[in-house]
Amino acid sequence: MNSTEKFDRAMQIVCGTYTGMELHGPFTWKHAVYFMNLHEEVSHVCLGYGMQLEAEDDDDFFEAVVQWLLQKKVAAMIDIQCPDLMDGFDPHLKECVENRTTYNVKFVDGWTVIFQQPEKP
């Protein structure tokens, strides 16, 4: 989609069950959180290029991500492919997620990946 207004409209019409989602284009972090929480079955999220997140909203976004991870009954993964986010975003997100959940955060080629290691038998 090419505008946040189209994501606003999508919030009104998207329905059904899905386990994964991928967002691209100009969308707000609130759009992302809305779709992540629309169905409890969602376990894989890719936030592609274009997520709009102001530095003053970082803590609210991090809290929403932590709460989403904490409610997952099965392993979940989030890929954040937004290299234009503010300096300090990655280490702050890593600290919030790893200190409050059982998930790990890695940085690979400009992507932020949040995942849970499988339990060892």
Instruction: Count CA atoms within 13 Å of residue 32 on its CB side.
Output: 29
Distance CA 107, CA 113 (A): 6
Residue among 36, 47, 111 at smallest CA distance from 71: 36
Count the Cβ atoms, other than its own, within 10 Å of residue 121.
3
pLDDT of res. 8: 66
Tens of each residue's pLDDT in the chain, 121 residues: 556 676 666 666 666 778 888 998 889 999 999 889 888 888 999 998 888 888 899 999 999 999 999 998 777 889 988 767 767 888 899 999 999 999 999 988 878 889 987 666 6
Write out 88-110 in H/E/C secondary structure.
CHHHHHHHHHHHHCCCEEEEECC
pLDDT of res. 30: 93
Pairing of strands 104-108, 44-47: unpaired
Contacts of 80 (CB under 8 A, 6+ apart): 47, 51, 93, 111, 112, 113, 114
